[in-house]
A and B are shown apart, each in its own frame.
Chain A
C-alpha cells in the first residue's frame, strides 16, 4: 500500500498508528460545516473512532445509521466537542459492523440504532474517546516544546502554549505524534463543563443534508453493482405459510425473466430489468397452505376477544412495572373507576420500500450486501446464518435509510435475507425490491391492543391504586427473540408506557395478556407508549371528570414530585393560552415521561358534526430532553413525532381478514399530508442532565391530546384509535 500521509488513531481498543490512502480527502465545504465521507477509501481497514491527517482533516467514525433522526451527525459532534476539533475539518465516516468497538451500550453492545437510544447511550463514552485523543495531542505538543502538559490548552484544531505564544495544529502534531500503547485515563471531572461547549447545543448543518437536496444521497435502493439483476418475491400473505401449487407459466413468458425461485415462504423472480421482475411477480398464481396459525384471523372479531381478556380479572397477565400492594390498595379504596381503550394495528410506511442488494460469490462462501438496516451487525449475522458462512465473509455496505421507524431492526432481517436467497440462486448480484404493496401486505405492525384500566381513589379522591391490563399481540418474541431473552422475557416493546411511576401513584401494576395470533408485529415509532399513554392519559381525564376536577389540576397534583414534568406542563399551557375560550373548538392536554424525556402537548381541534371528521388546527409541545445536543434537530424531530402521532390518532389503520392485510398502498392506508397537518409550536426546554432521547417522544402525546380536545369541543369520548369519522359519529351520539 502506498502511503503518503501519517495518521494517528484512538479507539476503544487503544491507540495505534494508521495511514490513509493518498488523495482521498474529500473537498471541504466553504460554509464551515463537516461533511459526510464514504467509508471506502477514506478509512483504513481497522476500527478506530478518530483519525487525524497531517492536513488537519479529522475523520470520526459514526456507529449510528442515518434514517432521518440526525445521529450520524450528533455522535461525531460529541467526539469533536471533547477533542476540541475544528468542525469544518471533520469528516464523518460510517463505522464498520463491529459490536466490540462500536456497539451501542444501551443495547447490550449491539450496533443498533433504535429506541431514541443513540445519543442517550453513546454520549458519555464518546466524550471520553474525544477527550483521550485531545490528551494525546496535548502530551505530544508538551514533549515537543519541553513544557508541562498542564500549561497547554486547545482552541478548535490547535494546541496552544499561552506563556510562549506557541501554537501547533492538530495536523502538524499528527505528523510526529507518538501514540501511547494504552489510552490515557480521563476522569469524569476532566470532561468539558457545559459552559465550555463549542458544538453541543449549537446547531450545525447535518452532514447528510446537502446530498438530500441535490439527489446524490445514496439509499440502498439506489445501488448499482456491475452485472446486477433484479429480484422480487411474492411472499405468503400469512406468516409461516408455504406455497403449495405454483403456476408460473405466465411469469416465465415475460421477456427478461430469468428464473422463478420457490422459497419456503414465497416465490421469487429474477429478471434482467425491474419492470420484468415486477410484472412477473404480479403474474404468479400461487395456492398457499393453510397450516399457519394466522389463517382465519379477523381483527374486528379479535379486538373483542382482546377486550374481554383485558377485562377478565380472573386471568392474570404477565406483570410489568409493579409497585406497592395493588390488591390491598384496591380493597381499601373508597372508589374504583374503570376505563377501556383500544388501538388498531398500524404500519410504518417508511418512504423507501424495503429493499436490499446482495452479491453471493460464485463459490457461495462469501457475500457482499448493500442495505440500510437499523443494525449493521444483525444484518451481517443474518446473512452469515442464511449462507452458513462466518460473519467475516460478509461485507456490508451500509447506506442511508429512507425512513424506518422500527421496521428495519428485526433480528431476522427478512428483506436482507430475501436478496441473499435470490443472489445465491444465480451467484450474481441481485437488487431485491419490495413494492409498496408488498411492504403493506407483508408489513409488520404495531400490535392491536385492548386496555382495561382501573384506578382506586381514597376518601379525598387521590389515586392510590392503578391497574393497567393490556391485551395485545406479542411483539418482541416475534421481532427479536434474542433481545426478548436478554430482557428476561419481557415484551418491552408492547408494555412500555404502561408505567405511571412519574405520577407518583404508590400502588400500581401493569399486566400484559399476550395474544398468540400469528400476526406479524414490530416496534413502531413510540412503541408501546403510543397505545398505553393514550389509555393512561384518556383514563386520567375520565378520573378528573368523575372527581369534578380540572384535568390539568389533576396532572399537576400527580406531578408534584417531578419538577421537570410540571415545568413542561406549565410551559405548554402558557404557549397554547390554554384557558382562552375558542368557540367551536376544543383543546386538550397530555403529558408523557418517555425514557426521562419530559413532553407535554396541547391539541386544538374542531369536529365536523355531519361527517365526524376531526380537524387538528394547532398543536403545542414543550419538551425537556436533558442536554440538547442539536437544538434545531430536536425541534425537527418533535415536529416529525407530532405528525406521525397525528396519523396514528386519526387515519392510520391496518385491518386483517382471514389472516390477510386488507390495505395495499397510500390510497387505503392514509398517512398525513401537508393539508392535514396542524400549525405546530415546539418549545425546547433543555436541562442540565444527560441527553434523554428525542426521536419519538411527542408521538404518544397526540392521540390523548386530541381525544381530550374532542371531548371539550363535542362531549364525545373517544376510546378507540384511530379516531375514524364513523367512530367519532358513534361517540358523539352516545
Chain B
C-alpha cells in the first residue's frame, strides 16, 4: 500500500505492506537513522518521534494511520541541532553511549512544548517512558530544567 504523509516538513510517499511500523520506514526507507530500534514494544522509547506534535513510539505506529499527518524526527527537531533541549543536553553532558538519546530528546521536547515549566515530578513521570541503560537520568532531569529555564 502507498501512504503519503509529512516527515520533517517534507511530503513523503511510502510503499510498504499495511501494518508496517513507522520506525522501520524512517530508518530503512527514508534514511532517517537517528530514530532508534530498542525494543519494538513501546517499552524503551528509543524510537520516539513526534506525530502532529505529540510524542509517539514509532515502533508502534502503523504507516496507514499516518495519512495526512506530520512526523518530526530528531533530524527535523531543529534546522541546526540547536533546539533548546539539544543545547541543554550538550551543556549538561548527558549522552554516554547515546543510543537512547534521540528518543529522550524528542520526548523531552514534547514535554516542554506542552508544559514549558514542568515540575521535577512531572519531568520524572513523563520521562520514565524512556530507558537509558547508561543511567544518564540525573543529567536528563538537569538538562530539561535547563532547557525550561533558558528556553
Q: Please list the residues of chain A having a beta carbon within 8 angstroms of any beta carbon in chain B.
A: 66-70, 205-206, 208-219, 221-222, 224, 230, 255, 273-275, 349-353, 400-405, 433, 435-437, 632-633, 636-637, 639-644, 646, 665-667, 671-675, 677, 679-680
A353-B38, A636-B93, A636-B139 known; A666 vs B131 contact (CB < 8 Å): yes
Q: Which residues of chain A are near B39, meaning CB under 8 Å?
A: 436, 665-666
Inside 8 A of B130's CB, which chain A residues have their CB?
A: 673-674
Interface string of B41-84 (1 = CB under 8 A from A): 10110100000000000000000000000000111000001000
A375 to B20, CA, bound (A): 35
Q: Is B137 within 8 A of A215, CB to CB?
A: no
**Is the pair B131, A212 in contact by a Cβ cutoff of 8 Å?**
no
Contact A351 B135 (CB under 8 A): no
Instruction: Compute how far the CA of A732 lies from the CA of B85 in the bound complex, rounded to whole angstroms.
Output: 45
Known: A677-B137, A680-B138. A666 touches B41 (CB 8 A): yes
Mark contacts of B101-141 with chain A using CB atoms, 8 A cut-off: 1 yes-contact digit, 0 otherwise. 11001000000000000000001110110111111111111
Closest to B33 in A: A222
**A530 smallest CB distance to B (angstroms):** 15
**A223's closest neighbor in chain B, by CB?**
B33
A349 and B138 alpha carbons, distance in the complex (Å):
19
B38 in contact with A351 (CB, 8 Å)? yes
User: A209, A212, A274 — which one has the most chain B CB atoms within 10 A of its CB?
Assistant: A212
CA distance A673 to B137 in the complex (A): 8
- Ranked 6 nearest A-B pairs via Cβ: A215-B34, A643-B135, A402-B99, A68-B97, A212-B98, A68-B96
**In the assembled complex, how far is the CB of residue A640 from the closest CB belonging to chain B, in whole angstroms?**
4
Distance in angstroms from A638 CB to nearest chain B CB is 10
Q: Give CA–CA (A516, B20) in the complex, Å.
A: 44
Interface pair B17/A215, CB less than 8 Å apart: no
Residues from chain B with a CB closer than 8 A to the CB of A673 are 128, 130-131, 137
Seen from chain B, the residues whose Cβ lies within 8 Å of a Cβ on chain A are: 16-17, 20-21, 24, 27-28, 31-41, 43-44, 46, 73-75, 81, 86, 89-90, 93-102, 105, 123-125, 127-128, 130-141
Residues A677 and B97 in contact, CB atoms below 8 Å apart: no
- The contact sample of 22 A-B pairs, CB cut-off 8 A, is A208-B98, A213-B94, A222-B33, A350-B99, A351-B99, A352-B38, A403-B133, A403-B134, A405-B133, A433-B37, A633-B93, A636-B93, A636-B139, A639-B135, A640-B134, A643-B134, A643-B137, A644-B133, A666-B39, A666-B44, A673-B130, A674-B140
- State how many angstroms separate the Cβ of A169 from the closest Cβ of chain B: 29
Q: How many angstroms from the CA of A403 to the CA of B97 in the assembled complex? A: 5
Residue ID in chain B nearest A633 by CB atoms: B93
Partner of A275, one of B20, B32, B35, B125: B20
Which residue of A210, A352, A436, A646 is within 8 Å of B90 (Cβ)?
Answer: A210
Q: Quick one: which of A205, A402, A636 contacts B136, CB cutoff 8 A?
A: A636
Which of B37, B43, B97, B102 meets A215, CB within 8 Å?
B102
Asked if residues A209 and B95 are in contact (CB atoms below 8 Å), the reply is: yes
* Contact in complex: A67, B44 (CB < 8 Å): no
Distance, CA A212 to CA B124, complexed state (A): 22
CA distance A661 to B13 in the complex (A): 41
Does B128 contact A674, Cβ atoms closer than 8 Å?
Answer: yes
Contact A400 B43 (CB under 8 A): no
Do B133 and A349 touch across chains, with their CB atoms under 8 A apart? yes
